[in-house]
Chains A and B, each alone.
Chain A
Amino acid sequence: MIRFEGAVLRNGAFDVRADLTVEGPGICAVVGPSGSGKSTLLLALAGFLPVVQGRLSVDGRDITHVVSARRPVSVLFQDHNLFAHLSVTDNVSLGLRPDLRLSTDQAAQVRDALHRTGLDGLQGRKPAALSGGQQQRVALARALLRDRPVLLLDEAFGALGPGLRREMLLLVQSVAIERNLTVLMVTHEPEDARTIADHVMFVEEGQAHPPLTVTEFFAEPPPAVAEYLGL
Chain B
Amino acid sequence: MKLTGWLGLTIAVLILLGCGAAIVALIDISGGAFALSPADLAAIRFTLVQAGLSAVGSVVIAVPLARALARRRFPGRDAVVTALGAPFLLPVLVAVLGLLAIWGRNGALSSFLEVLGAPRLNIYGLTGVVLAHLFFNIPLVTRLLLQGWASIPAEHFRLGHQLGFSPYVRFRLIELPMLRTVLPGAGLLVFLLCITSFAIALTLGGGPKATTVELAIYQAIRFDFDLTRAGMLAAIQTLLCLLVAGVAMLTGTPGEARAGMIRAEAAGARDGLYLDYTIIGAAGMFLAAPVGVVILRGAPALTDLPASVVEAAIRSILVAITSAALSVTVGLAIAVGLVRLAIFRPLLARLCEGAILIVLAISPFVLATGWFILLRGHVDPFAIALPMVVVINALMALPFALRSFVPAVALAERTDGRLADMLGLTGATRLRHVLLPHMRGPVAFAAGLAAALSMGDLGVIALFGSTSTATLPLVMYQLMGAYRMETAAGAALLLLILSFGLFAAIDRMGKSNDPI
Contact = CB atoms under 8 A, between A and B. Distances in A.
Given A79-B153, A83-B174, A85-B177, A48 B158 contact: yes
Given A69-B164, A98-B164, A81 B169 contact: no
B261 A67 contact: no
A67 to B, nearest CB: 7
A86 B160 CA distance: 14
B179 to A, nearest CB: 12
B264 to A, nearest CB: 12
Interface stretch (A70-78, A171-179, A197-205): A70-78
Contact of B161 (A68, A80, A83): A68
A46 B153 CA distance: 17
Contacts of B261: 77-80
Interface in B143-198: 153, 155-156, 158-159, 161-166, 169, 173-174, 177
B262 interface: yes
B161 A47 contact: yes
Contacts of B262: 39, 77
A13 to B, nearest CB: 12
Nearest to A69: B164
Nearest to B154: A80
Contacts of A39: 262
Q: Tell me what chain A mostly uses at the interface: helix, strand, loop, or mixed.
A: loop
B260 interface: yes
Nearest to A71: B162
Given A48-B161, A67-B161, A74-B162, A80 B156 contact: yes
Given A68-B162, A77-B155, A83 B173 contact: yes
A43 B147 CA distance: 25
Contacts of A77: 155, 158, 260-262
Contacts of A68: 158, 161-162
A185 to B, nearest CB: 16
Given A77-B261, A78-B261, A99-B169, A83 B156 contact: yes
A224 to B, nearest CB: 26
B159 A95 contact: no
Contacts of B155: 77, 79-81
Contacts, number: 62
> Which of B159, B165, B265 neighbours the largest number of chain A CB atoms within 10 Å of its CB?
B159
Contacts of A81: 155, 159
Interface in A77-101: 77-81, 83-86, 94-95, 98-99
Interface in B441-463: none
A20 B448 CA distance: 57
Nearest to A79: B261
Interface in B316-361: none
B484 to A, nearest CB: 55
Given A68-B162, A69-B161, A98-B163, A80 B177 contact: no
A71 B161 CA distance: 11
Contacts of A83: 156, 173-174, 177
Contacts of A86: 173
Nearest to B155: A80
A39 B155 CA distance: 13
A47 B162 CA distance: 8
B260 A80 contact: yes
Contacts of B260: 77, 79-80
A53 B163 CA distance: 26
Contacts of A146: 163
Contacts of A95: 163
Nearest to B172: A99
A86 B174 CA distance: 11
Interface string A48-67: 10000000000000000001
26 contacts: A12-B265, A39-B262, A67-B161, A68-B158, A68-B162, A69-B162, A73-B162, A75-B158, A77-B155, A77-B261, A79-B153, A79-B260, A79-B261, A80-B155, A80-B258, A80-B261, A83-B156, A83-B173, A83-B177, A85-B177, A94-B159, A98-B165, A98-B169, A98-B173, A99-B166, A99-B169
Given A69-B162, A98-B163, A98-B173, 12 more contacts: A69-B163, A70-B164, A75-B158, A77-B155, A77-B261, A78-B261, A79-B153, A79-B155, A80-B155, A80-B156, A94-B159, A99-B166
Q: Which 8 A-B pairs have the closest CB atoms?
A: A69-B164, A80-B153, A80-B155, A68-B161, A77-B155, A98-B169, A80-B260, A85-B177
